[in-house]
Chains A and B, each alone.
Chain A
């Protein structure tokens, strides 16, 4: 079965500093890859997605992610973090062969210091 691992449970970053969130997946082929963000007490919002093609994808709110097939990774980055980026971030994979279901990673909580 496919799995998604986000190794970092918590990350604290200073406002204005760069941010990188790690995501590794386990599956024989390239799945469809997503990053979602969840602010406290809210639903999830899609930041970006990767299906094929250019391995560097741009998303909303200034985020980007890079797909690395050799490392089975899809890491999320932002060059300069704002206080409003404090939230929970979920990496997810969708696999057609698995009934089109989306599997979420455990999440990474990002805290932003002033």
Chain B
């Protein structure tokens, strides 16, 4: 199994809603990532978990709250989002943390905030 699975594939939410994005991998990877990608732009790193601990938060607003319940799962909790938060949210994983590591990406959740 060399897949990173993200659910849902599409999500539409209002600015007062609370929703969660889910990411799962069963490759035994110990590092997991959240990226945000706006249209026609490269992915921007949001959070990195290493061995289930948050190791990087790229100054992301608190309306985004990551969670790593175990080594296979990564969640992103969303609350009180703004329309400018509409984007493709990508989850990725690597075997370990390191600059040489190959990122395995999920297909993403396309989020629209109304």
Contacts and interface: CB of A to CB of B under 8 A. Distances in A.
Interface of A: 31-32, 34, 36, 41-46, 49, 51, 90, 94-96, 98-102, 104-107, 109
Contacts of B21: none
Interface stretch (B12-20, B36-44, B77-85): B36-44
Main SS of the interface on chain B? loop
Nearest to B96: A100
B45 A102 contact: yes
A41 B41 contact: no
Contacts of A45: 105
B4 interface: yes
B74 interface: no
A44 B99 contact: no
A94 B107 contact: no
- With most chain B CB atoms within 10 A of its CB, the pick from A90, A105, A107 is A107
Contact of B40 (A94, A99, A102, A107): A107
Nearest to B10: A41
Contacts, number: 57
Contact of A102 (B41, B99, B107): B99
B100 A51 contact: yes
B108 interface: yes
A96 B108 CA distance: 27
Contacts of B72: none
B98 interface: yes
B107 A43 contact: yes
Interface string B80-113: 0000000000101000011111110111101000
Given A43-B90, A44-B90, A44-B105, A105 B42 contact: yes
22 contacts: A31-B99, A36-B103, A41-B110, A43-B4, A43-B90, A44-B90, A44-B105, A49-B100, A51-B100, A94-B99, A94-B100, A95-B99, A96-B98, A98-B99, A100-B98, A101-B56, A101-B99, A102-B99, A104-B42, A106-B41, A107-B41, A109-B40
